Amino acid sequence: MGRLAGKVAVITGASQGMGAAHAVAFVAEGAKVILTDINEVAGRAVAESLGGDAMFIRHDVASASGWAQVVADGEARFGPINVLVNNAGIIGPVARTAEIAEADYAHVCAVNQTGVFLGMQAVLLSMLALGGGSIINVSSTSGMVANVGTPNLAYAGSKFAVRGMTKQVAVEYGADNIRANSVHPGYVNTPMMVAATDEDGGGAASAIPLGRFAEAQEISPLVVFLASDESSFITGMEHVIDGGMTAS
Ligand SMILES: NC(=O)c1ccc[n+]([C@@H]2O[C@H](COP(=O)([O-])OP(=O)(O)OC[C@H]3O[C@@H](n4cnc5c(N)ncnc54)[C@H](O)[C@@H]3O)[C@@H](O)[C@H]2O)c1
């Protein structure tokens, strides 16, 4: 039996990068997975490669009505959702704070922060009715400490907000057996990171004690653990996975 047998999970931003890696790992551990993303072509391809235990729904995490549809369609196929991985995110403007356009700031907040709020709100009623669930919100080391090399206030603010919202939900819903944890990766080799580190390339790796970026598949075991009943007494915590980058 897989470690996620009996779990029905929504994973957002699952068309590529870490979300796709998590979907692969979840199905391998016995979960049924609803992959969502705005990138429909790639998302359908990932879901199809995973067979009958996966389905794809095109969905913008910043859309409340979209979330209602994801829950309705996902539960019609696989039954009540008991795991949510709020993974979708965008980098937004890399510029010092005085130069950030308000519209760009607002867009990052809509996806990275409001998207996480809407996702939790959408699944909490199902989890309450079921008597429990696990929410995993993907923040970043940028939700733990300020980013020295890459100025990005909108990203940092949204990722700190994810960390705080996670704790709030953990406290509000602990008595309902609903757990909420945040995951804080450092640098991970994904399409997002390739785009963000174009200019300083390998330089960032020298700040990491392990001396390299992670692969997406190295983050998935932590997310599987937090989704599984193995982590039944862990809630309201931030889980940093950064090759030691924030240790000093
Ligand atoms: N790559 C890193 O080094 C790193 C480090 C720390 C945290 N993170 C976080 O991890 C998560 C995954 O990042 P990744 O590196 O795999 O990124 P990625 O860009 O490779 O993948 C993100 C996915 O999210 C989707 N997406 C973007 N906006 C969306 C929206 N509005 N609605 C639904 N889907 C949307 C994209 O289409 C894409 O498929 C993000 O929240 C990111 O902030 C990444």
Residue 3 in any domain: the answer is no
Question: What confidence tier does 198 reach under pLDDT thresholds 50, 70, 90?
Answer: low
CB of 192 sitting under 6 A from ligand 1: yes
Of 74, 52, 32, 23, the C-alpha closest to 224 is: 23
C-alpha distances in Å from residue 170, one per residue of 114, 226, 232, 247? 17, 13, 13, 25
As a three-state string, the secondary structure of 101-121 is CHHHHHHHHHHHHHHHHHHHH
Residue 2 in any domain: the answer is no
DSSP 6: T
Residue 155 in any domain: the answer is yes
Residue 26 in any domain: the answer is yes
Residue 1 in any domain: the answer is no
Convert the pLDDT of each residue in 95-149 to its tens digit: 999 999 999 999 999 999 999 999 999 999 999 999 999 999 999 999 999 988 8
Convert the pLDDT of each residue in 218-228 to its tens digit: 999 999 999 99
Asked if the model's pLDDT at residue 53 lies above 50, the reply is yes
Amino acid identity for residue 207 in this structure: A
Residue 133 in any domain: the answer is yes
Residue whose tokens read 């704070």: 97
Question: Mean pLDDT across the chain, nearest whole number?
Answer: 96
- For residue 232, give the CATH number of its domain: 3.40.50.720
Residue nearest to atom 2 of ligand 1 (CA): 188
Domain count, the chain: 1
Host domain of residue 119: 8-247
Convert the pLDDT of each residue in 155-186 to its tens digit: 999 999 999 999 999 999 999 999 999 999 99
- The Å distance, Cα 117 to ligand 1 centre, comes to 16
pLDDT given at position 199:
45
Residue 92 in any domain: the answer is yes
pLDDT over 70 percentage in the chain: 97
Residue 14 in any domain: the answer is yes
